[in-house]
Copies of this chain bind each other. A is one copy, B any other.
Amino acid sequence: MLTPERHQMILELLKEKEVIRIQEITEATGASESTIRRDLSELEEQKLLQRVHGGASSLPRKMEESTFLERAMRNEKEKTAIAKYAAGLVNEHDSVYLDAGTTTYLMIPYLPQDNLVVVTNGVNIALELLKRNIKTILLGGELKARTWAVVGRDAVTTIGQYRFDKCFLGINGIDAEHGLTTPDPDEAHVKQLALRYSDEKYVLADSSKFSRITFAKVAELDGLHVITDEGLDDVQREAYQKKTKLKVVTV
Q: Are B55 and A2 in contact (CB under 8 A)?
A: yes
Q: Copy number of this protein in the oligomer?
A: 2
Q: Are B138 and A3 in contact (CB under 8 A)?
A: no
- Taking the closest CB of chain B, its distance from the CB of A164, in whole angstroms, is 15
Chain B residues with CB under 8 A of A148: 127, 130
Q: Would you call A57 an interface residue if the criterion is a C-beta within 8 Å of the partner chain's C-beta atoms?
A: yes
Interface of chain A residues 133 through 188 with chain B (CB within 8 A): 133, 135-143, 145, 148, 150, 152-155, 157-158, 161
Tell me whether chain A's interface is mostly helix, strand or loop, or mixed.
Answer: mixed
Q: Would you call A74 an interface residue if the criterion is a C-beta within 8 Å of the partner chain's C-beta atoms?
A: no
- Taking the closest CB of chain B, its distance from the CB of A114, in whole angstroms, is 15
Which of chain B's residues has its CB closest to A6's CB? Answer: B19
Set B3, B18, B131, B138: member contacting A63, Cβ < 8 A: B131
> Once the chains are docked, how many angstroms separate the CA of A127 from the CA of B64?
9
Chain B residues with CB under 8 A of A53: 2-3
Q: Are A154 and B137 in contact (CB under 8 A)?
A: yes
Chain B residues with CB under 8 A of A130: 143, 145, 148
Chain B residues with CB under 8 A of A154: 137, 139-140, 158, 161
Set B5, B138, B143: member contacting A143, Cβ < 8 A: B138
Q: Which of A21, A57, A129 has the most B CB atoms < 10 Å from its CB? A: A57
Q: Interface residue count for A (Cβ, 8 Å)?
A: 40
Chain B residues with CB under 8 A of A4: 19, 52, 57
Q: Are B161 and A2 in contact (CB under 8 A)?
A: no
Q: Are A137 and B141 in contact (CB under 8 A)?
A: yes
Set B3, B133, B153, B155: member contacting A54, Cβ < 8 A: B3
> Once the chains are docked, how many angstroms separate the CA of A43 from the CA of B3?
20
Q: Which of A19, A137, A140, A154 has the most B CB atoms < 10 Å from its CB? A: A140
Q: List 6 A-B pairs, minimum CB-CB distance, nearest first.
A: A140-B140, A140-B158, A136-B143, A4-B57, A139-B140, A154-B158
Identify the A interface with B (CB < 8 A): 2-5, 8, 18-19, 21, 52-55, 57, 63, 123, 126-127, 129-131, 133, 135-143, 145, 148, 150, 152-155, 157-158, 161
